[in-house]
Structure 1
Amino acid sequence: MTAEDGTPDPHEHPVNGLDDVVHQRVRLGILAITHEARRVEFGYLRTQLQLTAGNLSQHLGVLETAGLIEIEKGYAGKRGRTWITLTAAGDTALAEEIARLKLLIARVETTDTPEDR
């Protein structure tokens, strides 16, 4: 759960707010790279994430269905190209996921280790 202002509820364990659509490693990578680049080409994502075209397509489909990305098909010269951009919802989902991960990291870093107890 999040507060009305969109910040994570400080009384809830941070892992409870992780979004399964966003948190999956490949999809988180897609969102992060696309956020950095603003608009990214399919082949670049495939190379950076070391995926097959089919595997990347499946993950893009999940993100598109969730409304987190937009997929644009076109041409660069005579070659077909596919570009991916984040939607406003995708940008928000990525920011919320990162906020949750930061809370989780802070919680783990402040927890005593068994040797300290």
Structure 2
Amino acid sequence: MPHQHARHRLDGVIHAPIRFSIVAELASVDEAEFSAVRDAVEVSDSVLSKQASTLEQAGYVKVRKGYVGKRPRTWLSLTSHGRAAFSAHLAALREIADS
């Protein structure tokens, strides 16, 4: 069987630029507050909310809601499945870049 090009291993959910940026931001932390991710990725609340929902539906991101004092807060974190998918996606990108 011929070797399959690395592009076939790219993850369509993660590959979209905003979702890729969100996952990359979350990869270096255990959990991040919604507003911190929004500011780091430079998107609006609504854009981050929509993209985080897509990642959550794929099983890549966990969304946790709670309160700090009386203020509602939302935290995002990568699931183990999300971390594995991100690692595989990066490996495929590196293979493409290095070929």
Could you say whether these structures have the same fold, taking a TM-score greater than 0.5 normalized by the shorter chain as the test?
yes
Tell me, yes or no, if structure 1 residue 62 matches structure 2 residue 54: yes
Percentage identity across paired residues of the two chains: 35
Letter in 2 for 1:91: R
Query: Could you tell me how far apart the structure 2 residues matched to 1:25 and 1:76 are?
Result: 31
Task: Report the 3-state secondary structure (helix = DSSP H, G, I; strand = E; otherwise coil) of the residue aligned with 1:34.
Answer: helix
Equivalent residue number for residue 101 of structure 1: 93
Q: How does 1:1-117 map to 2 (within 5 A)?
A: 11-107=3-99
Aligned alpha-carbon RMSD (Å): 1.2
Letter in 1 for 2:85: A
Query: Could you tell me how far apart the structure 2 residues matched to 1:65 and 1:20 are?
Result: 13
Letter in 2 for 1:37: V
TM-score, normalisation: structure 1: 0.80
Letter in 1 for 2:91: A
Query: Could you tell me how far apart the structure 2 residues matched to 1:106 and 1:14 are?
Result: 11
Query: Could you tell me how far apart the structure 1 residues matched to 2:76 and 2:94 are?
Result: 26
Equivalent residue number for residue 113 of structure 1: none
TM-score, normalisation: structure 2: 0.94
Query: Could you tell me how far apart the structure 2 residues matched to 1:47 and 1:78 are?
Result: 22
Larger Rg: 1
By relative contact order (CA 8 Å, sep 6+), the higher-ranking structure is 2
CA offsets 1:10-47 (integer angstroms, 9 cap, x no match): 81111122111011111111111111111011000111
Task: Report the 3-state secondary structure (helix = DSSP H, G, I; strand = E; otherwise coil) of the residue aligned with 1:38.
Answer: coil
